[in-house]
Structure 1
Amino acid sequence: MARLLERNPPQGAVTSDAAPTAVVLGGGANGLSLVRSLARAGLHPMVVVDTAYDIASMSRYARRAVVSGFEGKGFVSELLRLRAAMPHGAVLFFADDRPLLTVSQYRDAVAPWFSFELPSHQLLVDLTSKERFFQLAQRSGFPVPATHLVKSRDDLSVLPGLRLPLCVKPNSRSPAYDGSFQKAYRVETLAEAQSLCARVLDVVGEVIVQEWIEGTNDAIYFCLCYLGPGAPVCFTGRKGRSFPPQTGWTASCWAAPEAAAELEDLTIRFFRSVGLTSGFASMEYKRDTRDGSFRFVEPTVGRTDLQVELSAVCGVNLCHVGYCDAAKQSRPALKLDPTHVWRDEFRDFLAARMLGTGCSYPPGHRIHNAYWRWDDPAPALLEVAQTASNSLRRSMTRVLKTKAISSPTNKRAG
């Protein structure tokens, strides 16, 4: 059963008592980025809904609501029970694909009680699937690398037709994949690609293989958009580093106004070409060093991206725009200030070490940490505690496995 844990609003909260409550579905770094974006606009306290103790719900700007899961009618029922404690309405934001797809599936039951903007359910499902996205983009002539969906060992016969090196990644995220594999892989040889695909097929049943887009780690760009009844609002940035480099999550990023005109036009044209006209939508790009062109990497639709707080600190607060549209309020005034860096302070350091460089950023930029804030320290403290606990658990597992292998009983049995 859903439980809402009350927390006193932080000093300085400016949300009107009659304003709809901002409700963030899903936590983690994505949820925390969203929470702090809304808090920057004074929209706190808000409610973070998740299934466990989480860094986003530990923010001083949030109250924590615990649900038993994000799937099916059970989650919808728990969500509607939470709504009873919000007499002035509620605006939904999504930081996780699981509640996003559930709310979309049962939107007829949710929409009378919550405000949110989503494309049609079928379009949302299509764009969550990497293989379907690449089909849609290729059909309309947008710049995507050659891509194949491998669903059996027989399908591995298509790999020799692709240009090496290759990128191997899941068609859609799942606990089975996340528990066994990295977000994506760069593979240099055909034999390596076939072996990796075979292992993924055994666990998940399908895998995406595409030609690798050549480029340095800082050649990865993104265009974050909010589409609503007014004009589209966009923010363009680039990654400084990813963790792991090239294939992992954003470790640091900053605004890229020099690429904004090209990427915002390309992004809006693609989403309009597939019929997407409402809600959050973003596209990741990589500049191909072979010809200097931008190529699609993957979209995010319906929910916010990890980098969304960068848009807020740079003066283009997409989350605030989305809230105002959903709450039928006037949009805020926006003015871009590109002199800010958003970084995951833990993983950016590790990424720089792996690349053999320092944690360098554009000169004159102000740095905003993903976790540590003097005025909101609890998320960073919990992240450190959880990381230490996970490291200790992995170390203990290795020790116990080693002891089991070398125990006298096992030696006699051998």
Structure 2
Amino acid sequence: MTGLQRKPLQQAVMLDDAPTAVVLGGGTNGLSLVRSLAHAGLRPVVVVDAKYDIASISRYARRAVVSSLEGREFISGLLALRARMPHGGVLFFADDRPLLAVSQHRASVAPWFSFELPSHEVLVDLTLKERFFQLAQRGGFPVPATHLVSSRGDLGVLQELRLPLCVKPNSRSPAYDGTFQKAYRVETLAEAQSLCARVLDAVGEVIVQEWIEGTNDSIYFCLCYLGPGAPVCFTGRKGRSFPPQTGWTASCWAAPEVAKELEDLTIRFFRSVGLTNGFASMEYKRDQRDGSFRFVEPTVGRTDLQVELSAVCGINLCHVGYCDAAGQARPALRLDPTHVWRDEFRDFLAARMLGTDCTYPPQHRIHNAYWRWDDPAPAVLEVARTAGHALHRAVARVLKAKSISASGQGIPG
């Protein structure tokens, strides 16, 4: 079942009869996509999602409701929406679920929508961390020593790795995301084995690798769009992550001083595995022991939440992708590295955890992930949701305390 809210979909078509920009999935990734496309004048953007969220309530978006973001059910909903887009649509992916659904059913989707994706085999290989590390090691690319643990019987291989260790899922799943952090740093073998055992019980497999030593701001990323023309890349650096070192991007800015090295390395890796089209990015960490960059993980087929930084810095990857898919001339690109993108809530928390202030490079303009004077609704919703989650946790703690107190009343002294 599908539907469109706020305005009829016919009004969402570009005035020059160009295809509609369509974002699949929401959240911060979706919002960054919407604002990147709006920055290029491609507005309003249709956001296809199964729930009401921050991307779909942007002033630059129109919300298309589908009952599911996965499998054949999602494809049916997407094709139903296409019937109301007389000039076609260009797909952008903000979520792995619709990405994999479209990739699996691309023969059904391709006649009606334009999109750029690598082969399904390459997409799956690079979605699984263990397979990615195998490909990188085989090609001689810089990755830390890594093991896939699939059962408690495999825990002995952790002794082969140098402490400290990084523990993270082989692939994203609701079972993992609902219980665990994005990644963990563990200092001892016993701690690693205990954590791995808990993850195994929940999701069946876990990745363990040697920790790359470096400060919180030693994490870099290279965002790429690969299409029929020359590759277009943007290189940035994280200021802080939340939680520090292992979490999501809390603040970031351009890093032109390392762009050539990381862009050459990124393109060379993706081409080595047969990826020649679509969005692809690589996260790096500079190893403080020798100053070298090492792969952390790729993102393939969809954009990362940092993609809006590329747009405000003059290298609008989303606009380039749209133009290629719509058969239009690519925009002129000129790097302006004097901008900061930040998740204003999590950056503040990360700075507090690190015992620092929210500092940024001087004379840089700050762009908040949520709050904008010209687009305030996403921030209002994010604040409301954050407050709701905090209230829920507080109530749960109170009820738990009361339960413990009540159970103790009948115990003899």
TM-score (norm 2): 0.97
Superimposed CA distance per residue, residues 287-324 of structure 1 (whole angstroms, 9 cap, x where no aligned partner): 00000000000000000001000000000000000000
Shift of 1:46: 1.1
Indicate conservation of the 8 Å contact 1:219/1:239, yes or no. Answer: yes
Superimposed CA distance per residue, residues 246-278 of structure 1 (whole angstroms, 9 cap, x where no aligned partner): 000000000000000000000000000000000
Task: Determine the structure 2 residue equivalent to 1:340.
Answer: 339
Indicate conservation of the 8 Å contact 2:266/2:282, yes or no. Answer: yes
Superimposed CA distance per residue, residues 226-259 of structure 1 (whole angstroms, 9 cap, x where no aligned partner): 0000000000000000000000000000000000
User: C-alpha separation between the residues in 1 aligned to 2:113 and 2:232?
Assistant: 23
Structure 1 window deviating more from structure 2 (311-320 vs 63-72): it is: 63-72
**SS of aligned partner of 1:407:** helix
User: C-alpha separation between the residues in 2 aligned to 1:171 and 1:100?
Assistant: 18
Shift of 1:400: 1.4
Task: Determine the structure 2 residue equivalent to 1:391.
Answer: 390
Shift of 1:15: 3.5
Indicate conservation of the 8 Å contact 1:14/1:42, yes or no. Answer: no
In the alignment, structure 1 residue 261 sits paired with structure 2 residue 260? yes
Q: Pick the aligned partner of 2:410 from 400, 408, 412.
A: 412
Shift of 1:403: 1.5
In the alignment, structure 1 residue 2 sits paired with structure 2 residue 2? yes
Indicate conservation of the 8 Å contact 1:223/1:234, yes or no. Answer: yes
Shift of 1:413: 7.5
Task: Determine the structure 2 residue equivalent to 1:250.
Answer: 249
1:231-242 correspondence to structure 2 within 5 Å? 231-242=230-241
Indicate conservation of the 8 Å contact 2:218/2:285, yes or no. Answer: yes
1:50-89 correspondence to structure 2 within 5 Å? 50-89=49-88
User: C-alpha separation between the residues in 1 aligned to 2:16 and 2:269?
Assistant: 40
User: C-alpha separation between the residues in 1 aligned to 2:219 and 2:15?
Assistant: 40
The gaps in structure 2 that reach 5 residues or longer are none
**SS of aligned partner of 1:218:** coil
Shift of 1:85: 1.1
Indicate conservation of the 8 Å contact 1:243/1:347, yes or no. Answer: yes
The one-letter code sitting in structure 2 at the alignment partner of 1:192 is E
**SS of aligned partner of 1:382:** helix
User: C-alpha separation between the residues in 2 aligned to 1:8 and 1:90?
Assistant: 15
**SS of aligned partner of 1:3:** strand
The one-letter code sitting in structure 2 at the alignment partner of 1:241 is R
**SS of aligned partner of 1:412:** coil
Indicate conservation of the 8 Å contact 2:13/2:87, yes or no. Answer: no
**SS of aligned partner of 1:359:** coil
Superimposed CA distance per residue, residues 105-130 of structure 1 (whole angstroms, 9 cap, x where no aligned partner): 01111111110000011110110000
User: C-alpha separation between the residues in 1 aligned to 2:401 and 2:6?
Assistant: 46
Superimposed CA distance per residue, residues 321-342 of structure 1 (whole angstroms, 9 cap, x where no aligned partner): 0000000000000000000000
Task: Determine the structure 2 residue equivalent to 1:353.
Answer: 352
Shift of 1:412: 3.0
The gaps in structure 1 that reach 5 residues or longer are none
Runs of 4+ deviating beyond 6 Å: none
1:61-140 correspondence to structure 2 within 5 Å? 61-140=60-139
Distance 1:94 1:14, change over 3 A: closer
User: C-alpha separation between the residues in 2 aligned to 1:395 and 1:99?
Assistant: 34
1:9-408 correspondence to structure 2 within 5 Å? 15-407=14-406
Shift of 1:6: 3.3
Indicate conservation of the 8 Å contact 2:48/2:63, yes or no. Answer: yes
The one-letter code sitting in structure 2 at the alignment partner of 1:253 is C
**SS of aligned partner of 1:286:** strand
The CA RMSD over aligned residues, in Å, is: 1.5
User: C-alpha separation between the residues in 2 aligned to 1:24 and 1:397?
Assistant: 36
Aligned residues: 411
User: C-alpha separation between the residues in 2 aligned to 1:17 and 1:189?
Assistant: 61
The one-letter code sitting in structure 2 at the alignment partner of 1:26 is G
User: C-alpha separation between the residues in 1 aligned to 2:308 and 2:7?
Assistant: 23
User: C-alpha separation between the residues in 2 aligned to 1:261 and 1:203?
Assistant: 41
Shift of 1:402: 1.7
Indicate conservation of the 8 Å contact 1:7/1:62, yes or no. Answer: no
User: C-alpha separation between the residues in 2 aligned to 1:26 and 1:300?
Assistant: 15
Indicate conservation of the 8 Å contact 1:283/1:299, yes or no. Answer: yes
Shift of 1:224: 0.2
Indicate conservation of the 8 Å contact 1:14/1:43, yes or no. Answer: no
User: C-alpha separation between the residues in 2 aligned to 1:25 and 1:42?
Assistant: 19
Superimposed CA distance per residue, residues 354-398 of structure 1 (whole angstroms, 9 cap, x where no aligned partner): 000000000110000000000000000000001101111111112
User: C-alpha separation between the residues in 1 aligned to 2:113 and 2:312?
Assistant: 27
User: C-alpha separation between the residues in 2 aligned to 1:76 and 1:2?
Assistant: 11
Indicate conservation of the 8 Å contact 1:239/1:250, yes or no. Answer: yes
The one-letter code sitting in structure 2 at the alignment partner of 1:390 is H
The one-letter code sitting in structure 2 at the alignment partner of 1:229 is P
Shift of 1:8: 8.1
Q: Percent identity?
A: 83
User: C-alpha separation between the residues in 1 aligned to 2:395 and 2:46?
Assistant: 36
**SS of aligned partner of 1:52:** coil
Structure 1 window deviating more from structure 2 (30-39 vs 386-395): it is: 386-395
User: C-alpha separation between the residues in 2 aligned to 1:377 and 1:148?
Assistant: 45
Indicate conservation of the 8 Å contact 2:242/2:249, yes or no. Answer: yes
**SS of aligned partner of 1:42:** coil
**SS of aligned partner of 2:253:** strand
